[in-house]
Amino acid sequence: MESRIGIRYAEIIRSMKDKDYLFYAVNYALAPVEKGIKPASVLNFSKNFKDMYGLWKRYKSDFYKNNMIEFVTININNDRELVLFYNNKILESTIYDEKNMEFLKNYGYRKNMSLDECIMILRRRFDEEFPHEIGVLLGIPVRDVEEFIKNSGRNYLLSGYWKVYHDVDRALNIFKAYDMAKLDFIIQNGTYVHK
């Protein structure tokens, strides 16, 4: 994202009250999911900055949930809550894609499972170890997820929204689409000032 957009975002959000701050930050992060160009995102609500964990606990029942975006806690401890936000239809088509499912079978997912059952497996896997297969659910190409695991996160060609091991041009186009979705969110919410 262009640095001036990020700077403007930081200026705007710093001045907001708790609930507005939470909802603005969440909706900004979810802009690519809202636009339908990303199946899901995971947000980490921690106590580290502005106690996002406490804010999320307090206001999550007020969080706008529409027909497209669902959310579920996938892991929680005393300091943080990891929440999966997803577009039901896009996440289903991502999981049940033939190449993706072939990979996900290695981690206990099956084609005959419902989306809720797949999410339950993901939640259980978080209790055991970090489930790197989550990358597929987040829209990362399966080849990049496989190479990330194989290379322990090293030897990548490009690092952006994920570590890219194959098809850099495609990844750059996706990164740009994610950035544009976030910029659109800022503009639509009257917080963008072009300099």
Per-residue confidence at 4, pLDDT binned at 50, 70, 90? low
**What whole-number distance in Å separates Cα of residue 46 and Cα of residue 49?**
7
**If you search the block for the tokens 């700077």, which residue do you land on?**
7
pLDDT at 187: 86
Predicted TM-score of the model (pTM): 0.91
pLDDT at 193: 44
Q: For residue 141, give the DSSP letter.
A: -
**Chain segment 75-116, per-residue pLDDT in tens:** 998 889 999 999 999 999 999 999 999 999 999 999 999 999
The partner residues of 164 in beta bridges, in order of sequence, read 158
Tell me the DSSP string of 6-66. Answer: HHHHHHHHHTS-HHHHHHHHHHHHTHHHHTTSSSEEEEEEESTTTTHHHHHHHHGGGS---
pLDDT at 50: 83
**What whole-number distance in Å separates Cα of residue 100 and Cα of residue 98?**
6
Per-residue confidence at 2, pLDDT binned at 50, 70, 90? low
**What whole-number distance in Å separates Cα of residue 22 and Cα of residue 145?**
30
Q: Is the dihedral of CA 121, 25, 160, 98 positive or negative?
A: positive
- What lies within 8 Å, CB to CB, of 12 at 6+ separation is 24, 186, 191
The amino acid at 189 = N
Mutual angle of helices 115-128 and 88-95, in 10-degree steps: 70
**Chain segment 113-155, per-residue pLDDT in tens:** 999 999 999 999 999 999 999 999 999 999 999 999 999 999 9
What phi, psi does 136 have (nearest 5°)?
-60, -40
